[in-house]
Amino acid sequence: MIRYIKGYVQIRVIGYSAERFLNACSHRGIYIWGLRPSNGAYEMYMSVDGFRKLKPIIKKTGSRVVVARRFGLPFFLHRYRKRKLFFIGAFSSVALIYILSLFIWDIDIEGNLSQTDENILEFLQTKEVEHGMKKSSVDCDRIVKDMRKEYDGIIWVSASIQGSRLIIQVKENEDSLPAAGGDGELEQEDTDSAGRKEEEEPQDIVADIDCTITEMITRKGTPAAKEGDAVKKGDLLVCGRVPVNNDAGETTGYHYNKSDADIKGKAVIPYEQEQDITYIEKKLPEVKKQEMYIKIGRYRFGLGSKSHDYEHYEIMSQEKRWKIGEEFYLPVSTGIRTIQPYTRKKHKYSDKQLQTILSGQFDKYCEDLEKKGVEIIENDVKIYTGSEKAKAKGNLTVIMPIGTMAPTEVIDVPQQEEDGTTGDNIDGNDGDSH
């Protein structure tokens, strides 16, 4: 590369003292390479600077030197020195690439399982992080904080810029435990840098559904209900406020903590699922139409595309993003669109097919309930067929984890109640001292 930038030549040395010529070049520090004999002469390569030092050597040795070929950037520029538009175009290309390198043209998200790329990109767009933004405007630390705040299931985020790409790597929490009260959500235990538990906000457990309590094991908090009680949605089950009593049984204060309990209740939950009795069958003919396109930013331009008058059709695209090297993505992509027409024909499900479809959907619903710890003890779901839709409808009697968290009411205890004393002496006399 250095030789090409500085330029070099291939020369042919003719004469009876070629050996003296080579020795003189070595003595003057002129570097040569690619030396080989050719029809009674010698051919070799040397730099332009070395070639300019040959005049005294040629005169002294009586050799004749002929330039066979020229190589390198100086000769290229000299050859095309009159082609101004070519150099303007080359300079403009370099300037355009430099300008494009100042922006983010690709956002790559890795490690996400529960959240799709589209959802994360839409969230980032609300934080003004999107394709085409300046690199100087990207705040990787802010992106990390915003994503951890928005998605509870993400426990680790990394954001970095490589070339024209913004790479976001995430790690989701796969080992979370069910939250207290059985509300089915996931929670983490907060700890400080030394591994100690951080102070928790006091919370109650309240019913999240109308039910009858069948099982209740309280680990933290004061039970406000017992097995066999019928409770309504919103009723208090476990209170995070624990009273502190003196020897006389009077309440002198309260301890507050986050309630923790395993509570199950018997409840009736409705089930309803509809299914159209007709379906559309697509028939795909052999006819297909393909068109190439180029996409620059958000704009797409068809290359040789023609209009079509298909009533029903599908479009499938294969797109390739342009890039320089591995990390320098450009806001340009090319692709091929395939337009596949089809005809639609309406068919009607048989009663047996409808029963199979609705039964499969119900079985999947029951499997999902069982994964959440719900036990089905009674089922009266039936299938009804109408003129346009079939329906599976009924109630399920289940035993399920119940309870959701709610803030605990903080009660201030008057000072005199905390002391548990009055102004009288214990012997019934007045306040004179002895």
Tens of pLDDT, residues 124-163: 989 888 888 898 899 999 999 888 888 888 888 999 998 8
Judging by DSSP bridges, how do beta strands 375-379 and 165-172 pair with one another?
unpaired
- Cβ proximity of 345 and 280 under 8 Å: yes
Single out the residue of 270, 207, 274 nearest to residue 397, CA to CA.
Answer: 270
Report the distance separating Cα 118 and Cα 329, nearest Å. 19
- Per-residue pLDDT at 426: 39
Task: Indicate the pLDDT class of residue 192, thresholds 50, 70 and 90.
Answer: very low
- Cβ proximity of 193 and 184 under 8 Å: no
- Cβ proximity of 339 and 288 under 8 Å: yes
Task: Indicate the pLDDT class of residue 321, thresholds 50, 70 and 90.
Answer: confident
Look at 305-314, 342-351, 404-413 and tell me which has the smallest mean pLDDT.
305-314
Q: Which amino acid is at 93?
A: S
Report the distance separating Cα 138 and Cα 145, nearest Å. 13
Q: How many CA atoms lie within 13 A of 279 on its CB side?
A: 9
Which tens digit of pLDDT belongs to each residue from 278-293? Answer: 988 888 777 778 888 8
**Dihedral angle of Cα 422, 426, 431, 434, to the nearest 10 degrees:** -150
- Residue 37: CB atoms within 10 Å: 9
- Per-residue pLDDT at 413: 67
Which tens digit of pLDDT belongs to each residue from 60-108? Answer: 888 889 999 999 988 888 887 888 888 888 889 889 888 988 999 888 8
Would you kindly state where each structural domain of the chain is located, as residue ranges?
2-79, 90-175, 200-277+349-422, 280-346
- Per-residue pLDDT at 430: 45
Domain 2-79 CATH superfamily: ACT domain (3.30.70.260)
Task: Indicate the pLDDT class of residue 238, thresholds 50, 70 and 90.
Answer: very high
Report the distance separating Cα 376 and Cα 269, nearest Å. 10
Q: What is the CATH number of domain 90-175?
A: 3.10.20.310
- Asked if pLDDT for residue 414 goes beyond 90, the answer is no
Q: Which of residues 196 and 269 earns the better pLDDT score?
A: 269
Q: Which amino acid is at 424?
A: D
* Pure H helices in 240-393: 351-371
- Residue 171: CB atoms within 10 Å: 15
Report the mean per-residue pLDDT for the chain: 83
Task: Indicate the pLDDT class of residue 174, thresholds 50, 70 and 90.
Answer: low
- Cβ proximity of 101 and 69 under 8 Å: no
